[in-house]
Amino acid sequence: MSGLANMAIRAKRVPGAALLFVLLPLLAAFLSLLIGRYPLAPGAVAEVLARHLLALPVNPADPADIVVIAIRLPRIVAGLLVGAALSMAGAAFQGIFRNPLVSPDILGVAAGAGFGAALAILLGAGPGGIQLSAFLAGLAAVAMTWLITRWCAGNGDDVLVLILAGVIVGTVFAALVALVKFAADPTNTLPAITFWLMGSLATVGWPDLAAAGPPIGAGLVVLGLLRWRLNLLAFGDEEARALGVDVGRLRLAVVLAATLMTAAAVAISGVIGLVGLVVPHMTRLLVGPDHRVLLPAAALIGGTFLLVVDDAARILAGAEVPLGILTSLIGAPFFLSVLGRARGGGA
């Protein structure tokens, strides 16, 4: 059976599951409001949310109101946004590079953002300065990757050179992070850098979301609009050009959108590994390879996945477990199972 026929069969199954994909993050978000060091009853959470949604009088000194609105809700929204951004970016990168091992940090954005944040912490910047430095450094790393590709390949359309350039740029920025850590005060600054690099949503507030939300939202919208064109790249660049696709511009647009939202996500969450690699494969097993369905489904499943992992990080131990550790510990066995399934012809 042809690949297009397989896509059509899978697509027919999606409408029945679309409602489930939408309800999962909503259900996970509500349950996340209940759990933590200060447990809340469902009725209390529902009352707080209803008062704010209906603009009814609220008691700002009410502990439930403080916990739900000021502490847990921004963290939950951040988890959904970061998970959606990393997962959708990973699925898009795997599509344009036609490589299942590609993740959102393949072009060096995570390493660049890590260096920007580490340097800002070393210089004593505040939370806003750290996030801005991480965001700009992540964008700069990908810009360097693209410029190296154009210089080496003559244009920005050589996939192999682009990936290799991203690996080199990521390695350079990882070395710069190590240099910053070497120069940092081991008593105060070094632990702060190390903890940031392990990833966490513990300090995210509404101002952070106001800064990171627009670039993440813009990237999600652009990839959503371009998702049907990604199917044409599966046939190869020459075939896609024959079908009227400007492959170079499409690849550049996808890279820019995915980089924008990945840099914004990493800036507020730190480096969170494997989400952008594992969730697209998980989603592909459920809905198939059609990017028209795969990308939005990956965003919804990725947001839910990261939110559930963040809940585990909050309640598993007395001290909060860094998010990057849990995503790697959970994601690695799952990815091995996907590899085993592919080896046996199941994917």
| Extents of the domains making up the chain | 3-103+199-343
Q: Could you count the other beta carbons within 10 Å of the beta carbon of residue 299? A: 27
Question: What rounded mean pLDDT belongs to the chain?
Answer: 87
Q: What is the pLDDT of residue 160?
A: 83
- The predicted model gives 60-75 an average pLDDT of 89
- The answer to whether 272 and 329 have CB atoms below 8 angstroms apart is no
Q: What is the pLDDT of residue 344?
A: 56
Q: What is the pLDDT of residue 233?
A: 81
Question: Would you say how long the chain is, in residues?
Answer: 347
Q: What is the pLDDT of residue 154?
A: 60
Q: What is the pLDDT of residue 228?
A: 87
Q: What is the pLDDT of residue 286?
A: 85
| Nearest-angstrom CA–CA distance, 174 and 220 | 27
- The predicted model gives 263-291 an average pLDDT of 90
pLDDT of residue 9 exceeding 50: no
Q: What is the pLDDT of residue 343?
A: 58
Q: Could you count the other beta carbons within 10 Å of the beta carbon of residue 1? A: 7
| Alpha carbon separation from 196 to 72, 73, 126, 323 (Å, rounded) | 20, 21, 13, 10
Taking phi first (over 0 means left), then psi (-120 to 50 degrees means alpha), and beta for anything else, what does residue 288 get?
left
User: How many H helices and E strands in the chain?
Assistant: 14, 0
Q: What is the pLDDT of residue 54?
A: 86
Fold of 3-103+199-343: ABC transporter involved in vitamin B12 uptake, BtuC (1.10.3470)
- Taking only the tens place, the pLDDT of each residue in 105-134 is 899 999 999 999 999 999 999 889 999 999
pLDDT of residue 7 exceeding 60: no
Q: What is the pLDDT of residue 16?
A: 55
Query: What does the DSSP 8-state code read for residue 277?
Result: H
pLDDT of residue 2 exceeding 50: no
- The answer to whether 101 and 312 have CB atoms below 8 angstroms apart is no
- The predicted model gives 62-90 an average pLDDT of 93
Q: Which of residues 31 and 10 earns the better pLDDT score?
A: 31
The pLDDT confidence band at residue 30, using thresholds 50, 70 and 90, is: very high
Who's near 198: CB < 8 A, 6+ residues apart?
270, 271, 322, 323, 324, 325
Q: What is the pLDDT of residue 1?
A: 39
Q: What is the pLDDT of residue 3?
A: 47
pLDDT of residue 206 exceeding 60: yes
